Structure 1
Amino acid sequence: MSARDDLQRTLADIAARDGGLKSFVAVHDTAGAQRELDRALAHRGALQGLAVGVKDIFDTAALPSQYGSALFAGHQPRLDAAIVQAVRRAGGVVVGKTATTEFAFLNPAPTLNPNAAGRTPGGSSAGSAASVAAGLVPLGIGTQTGGSVIRPASYCGVVGFKPTFGALPTPGLKPFSWSLDTVGLFTQRVTDMARWASALSGRTWTSQGAKPVVGIAWSYPFGELTPSARLALETARDKLRAAGVTVKDVDLPAWVADVHKAHDAVQGWEAVRALRDEFEFHADQLSAVLRDYLRDAQEVDDRAYEQGQATAAAGRGKLQQLFDGIDVLLAPSAPDEPPAGYGSTGASTFNRAWTLLHVPCVSVPGAKGVNGFPMGVQVVAPVGEDALCLRAAALLQASFGH
């Protein structure tokens, strides 16, 4: 089947199935998609002709960019975001924009969960995770400021990759918290993730090596393990050991709790400034949850912000302590199975510290919670060790037989 046939099949599939899923908010018509394909075929990259969904928090010159907000209804940027340009340079075809929560915060998107009926797909990258989970596109682009890649990947049962901070470009992303906002990706398989992420980043994240030594933390200063989270970690431990991997129990150092807490101050201070105009001049067009958050976050003063950033910097300086004796750490991707209903996107309890530390993380599907719904297992590696993180994640996915 030719690339043009593949593209037509993808568009037809989205038209036929996404009405009930609501993972896309804008899709190219046939002519627009063909233009995208022509541009893609002019490049000979690893994504040659691959259909890609891009979270509607990124600017796109050929499709509206509304950031999940009524305030920006019909907004049409003149330039593409840097990650969109990277997709095209690698030969990928942007077929549409995927649903996001309002400004990538908490107000839920309309997207449903294809692998957990009646339960949230998570946020804020709900559309990208769900579209990949449903098989509408093989690659989705998202962002994470708290847990917006790892958590929806867990809830939807797909691979979610949050690289080292800054490894994928952010220009053209509508910012919420500029020292936290991280471009991330969704796929079905880690092996595909490694190849495609390498192409988008210009780095080599497909290296081979010895089996990593894996640590698992069973106690967390910022949240107790639920039965489903414990079951997922136990499943991962047993599968890895059966595959000949050394797995050790580890204790998290106390300073990880300080980093977790500092995330709130850093995000709040930056969000107030990133959305200053929207809050000051268009508050009536914001959701109540965002209005209340921005109002309360104004109480975060410069000193608290500076202390938060200092705590984060100190934590990054102690990462060797965190990974002493192990290569990667396993932790829950989410506190529990996807919550029932669509009024909440879940909690980023097990993501915020890693996001502020700027370390790479991969949510690996294959485990289940006590009720049989998806539970991702999060692989965490030191800053800059994205290849190691992906290699360990691929080993874990293979051990799951997923």
Structure 2
Amino acid sequence: METSLSALAESVASGELPPSEVVADALERLDRTEPDIRAWVRVDRTRALDAARRLDSTVQKGPLHGIPFGVKDIIDVRGLPTECGSPLRRGRVAADDAHLVARLRELGAIPLGKTVTTEFAYFAPGPTRNPRRLSHTPGGSSSGSAAAVASGVVPLALGSQTAGSLTRPASYCGVAGLVAPVGGPLVTTGFAGLSHTLDAPGILTRTVADVRLAYLALTGPDRLADPVRDLECPRLAVWSGIELVDISDDMQTAVRHTVEAAVADGAELVDFDWPAVTPRLAEAHGTVMAYEASRALASEGRHPAQLSAPLDDLLTQGRSITDRDYQDALAVAAWARSAILTLLTDVDAIIGPAAPGAAPEGLSATGSPILSRPWQLLGLPALTVPGRFDGQGMPLGIQLIGHPERLDRLFALGHTIEHAAHGRH
């Protein structure tokens, strides 16, 4: 069965596939892949099948009617535990759905279960493996959601990002991912937060067109009939990221080829001098995250023996940050956001690497989030575009940063880039 969101939604809407068959197929895929990939914390098998059977006889169909989806285990699903990858939250059952889960149910979608997250959406990894190569990390913290989509179990999964928690797994697993703008229109009500200034919800699907479908269904279903169109003559600011971290040769090549293809199709390149600023933004991001996390997880911080060393270190650091240093970091963010929004009214996107390279080998760490930190501090939407690969066949995601009020242009550009990468443009 086709596993793209767009194709499944169309097949269900036409009556070709009943929701019960779609959910049963998802569960069969899960049973087949889960022993190797380990993307799921809990599968709500009985309730998912019951919900699908009820939808089989429903005449009025929502735009995501019968579509199974995964939910990162920092996000509440009514009747299921939200354990955040930590023994400190074990067995805490959610009384209500998070806002986005409730909204997806209204649209006809069915939560299949909870996907693995790193501990409190920080660094300590769970058991999930990369579907592209099991000995490599899937990234984090939205590791289970990215792997569940990449392995074809579900066409849609919810994740989140505070540093690089969705962009990096999308890149490593070879799927499309959207980090929504901080502050709306998608909201984090019902999420276990780490940093109220930085936390953003996210969507993972197989393609950019599928991300757009999910986003429009959640925010503007009246526009679902509009086809995704290529963006003519886009203006791009190219960002290498090399001022923050070593970028692999394969990733640099992937970005260069992507930009060259865009220029060949009529894109215009715009001078971009922000590499002098991004290290300062990454530093301010770290200050804000540590300060706010130490307060959001204050009760958990009193049990260091039940925390991983990285999380305990973060909370300890956050407690040592003064109010003045925190306010200074927020001031840096406010200044830079104003400046970048001015730039993004003149260009359609900043384009660069989504991660330093392909997914590293090993499961004891989740890779570096540094290439997302500057943009997450500024609350900007980030779209990860799949389709490029390194010499070993591992995925390399391209990151597009856009204006929070111009997501249509971000989706259109991502669609063009993705199709060019697959040779279908």
Shorter-chain TM-score range: over 0.9
Query: SS of the counterpart of 2:409?
Result: helix
Structure 1 distance, partners of 2:48, 2:347, is 49
Report what 2:400 is aligned to. Answer: 379
Q: Residues 31, 55 of structure 1: CA spacing in aligned structure 2 closer, same or farther, 3 A cutoff?
A: closer
Matched, 1:10 2:19: no
Select 1:284's aligned residue among 305, 308, 315: 305
Structure 1 distance, partners of 2:220, 2:322, is 38
Is the 8 Å Cα contact of residues 259 and 311 (structure 1) preserved in structure 2? yes
Query: SS of the counterpart of 2:201?
Result: strand
Shift of 1:392: 0.9
Select 1:237's aligned residue among 241, 251, 259: 259
Shift of 1:240: 2.0
Report what 1:165 is aligned to. Answer: 182
Report what 1:393 is aligned to. Answer: 414
Report what 1:94 is aligned to. Answer: 111
1:67-89 deviations in Å (ceiling 9; x for gaps): 11112222211111111111111
Query: SS of the counterpart of 1:318?
Result: helix
Structure 2 distance, partners of 1:9, 1:289, is 39
Q: Residues 2, 352 of structure 1: CA spacing in aligned structure 2 closer, same or farther, 3 A cutoff?
A: same
Report what 2:204 is aligned to. Answer: 186
Shift of 1:234: 1.2
1:110-137 deviations in Å (ceiling 9; x for gaps): 1000113311000000000001000000
Q: Give the AA of the match of 1:2.
A: P
Moved more, 206-215 or 325-334: 206-215
Query: SS of the counterpart of 1:250?
Result: coil
Is the 8 Å Cα contact of residues 271 and 294 (structure 1) preserved in structure 2? yes
Matched, 1:300 2:321: yes
Report what 1:33 is aligned to. Answer: 49
Shift of 1:374: 1.1
Q: What percentage of residue pairs aligned between the two structures are identical?
A: 33
RMSD over aligned CA atoms reads 2.1
Query: SS of the counterpart of 2:158?
Result: strand
Shift of 1:202: 3.7
Shift of 1:39: 6.8
Q: Give the AA of the match of 1:272.
A: S
Structure 2 distance, partners of 1:11, 1:145, is 30
Taking structure 2 as the reference length, what is the TM-score of the superposition?
0.89
Shift of 1:257: 2.9
Taking structure 1 as the reference length, what is the TM-score of the superposition?
0.94
Structure 2 distance, partners of 1:292, 1:343, is 17
Unaligned runs of 5+ in 1: none
Moved more, 173-182 or 7-16: 7-16
Is the 8 Å Cα contact of residues 234 and 266 (structure 2) preserved in structure 1? no
Structure 1 distance, partners of 2:407, 2:53, is 30
1:141-200 deviations in Å (ceiling 9; x for gaps): 000000111000000000011121122111110010111110001111111111111112
Select 2:281's aligned residue among 244, 252, 259: 259
Shift of 1:64: 1.8
Structure 2 distance, partners of 1:219, 1:77, is 40
User: Matched residue pairs, number?
Assistant: 401
Query: SS of the counterpart of 2:111?
Result: strand
Unaligned runs of 5+ in 2: 1-16
Structure 1 distance, partners of 2:310, 2:372, is 21
Query: SS of the counterpart of 1:19?
Result: helix
Q: Give the AA of the match of 1:257.
A: P
